[in-house]
Amino acid sequence: MQRIDKADMDLALKIFSWIFRAQRVLRMDELLEALVVEEGDELLEREGLLDPSEVVECCKSLVLYEESSGLVRFTHETAQDFIANNVQQALLSTIDLAKTCLTYLSFTELMTPCLSEAHFEERIGNHRFSHYAGRYWDYHAREVEEDEEIQIFIINLLSSESRRNSLAQLELYSNSNWLGTSFTTGQKVLHVAAEKGLVAICRVELNTLQSTRSCPCSLAF
């Protein structure tokens, strides 16, 4: 840690955060995209993407990039233990990781489902982090869903039926690496929240539905 340049420390801690907190070993191309996502982004800022060599150099000897597999990890389990025991408080929070996943999945380019498998393969080829975000956004969100800001992020993501369908398509691929012939469409926000075990979001949505139904001027229900 002492070998890391002070100017690179924030970036190094961000890298450590993803490697340490991710629910599976990340590929380098996934990590590079996650690192450039900022709250409010609507597109992937490709011009800001780092080169893999910059990631390794920034973290000195603590991070290893396996070019043969594309995976990035700590060089040794002792590095993981050191981060857990000495650096964990300086890492990105679970809220930060959840926001990154939710922001990424809200990108304009991902707002509608693909109409063909060829189009879908092109999409995920251009959005490598979508594989991880589509599979684990709910895991990160569940840990912090009582946070009001996270609730807004989730509800904004799920408020559009087109986005819900696009997310369902991505999740199918993320779980099986195969798009198949169909994916679940037409789910409401409450359906998705219940399926993902997002209790707080279910509560918010039920309260919203109850308020809408009790309004004498509402004809939606």
pLDDT of residue 117: 82
- Distance in angstroms (rounded) separating the CA atoms of residues 158 and 187: 10
Residues β-bridged to residue 74: 63
Q: Where is the domain boundary, 34, 66, 90?
A: 90
85, part of any domain: yes
C-alpha closest to that of 91 among 5, 7, 9, 6: 9
Residue with tokens 């857990």, as numbered in its chain: 84
Tokens of 90: 């300086």
Q: Where is the domain boundary, 90, 125, 141?
A: 90
pLDDT in tens, 63-114: 999 999 999 999 998 999 999 999 999 999 999 999 999 999 999 999 999 8
Q: Give the structural domain span for 131.
A: 94-214
pLDDT in tens, 51-74: 999 999 999 989 999 999 999 999
Q: Where is the domain boundary, 20, 55, 90?
A: 90
- Distance in angstroms (rounded) separating the CA atoms of residues 160 and 154: 11
pLDDT of residue 218: 45
Same domain, 22 and 125: no
Instruction: Give the number of domains in the chain.
Output: 2
Same domain, 68 and 107: no
pLDDT of residue 221: 36
Same domain, 61 and 162: no
Tokens of 175: 């779980």
Same domain, 54 and 118: no
pLDDT of residue 31: 98
- Distance in angstroms (rounded) separating the CA atoms of residues 86 and 178: 40
Same domain, 108 and 157: yes
C-alpha closest to that of 66 among 101, 95, 31: 31
219, part of any domain: no
pLDDT of residue 177: 57
Q: What is the DSSP string of 145-198?
A: TTSHHHHHHHHHHHSSHHHHHHHHHHHHHHHHS---S-------HHHHHHHTT-
Q: Is the dihedral of CA 32, 37, 43, 48 positive or negative?
A: negative
pLDDT of residue 58: 95
Supply φ then ψ for residue 44, to 5 degrees: -75, 120
C-alpha closest to that of 188 among 166, 170, 205: 205
Is the Cβ–Cβ distance between 147 and 49 less than 8 Å? no
Mark the ranges of the chain whose per-residue pLDDT is less than 70.
175-184, 212-221
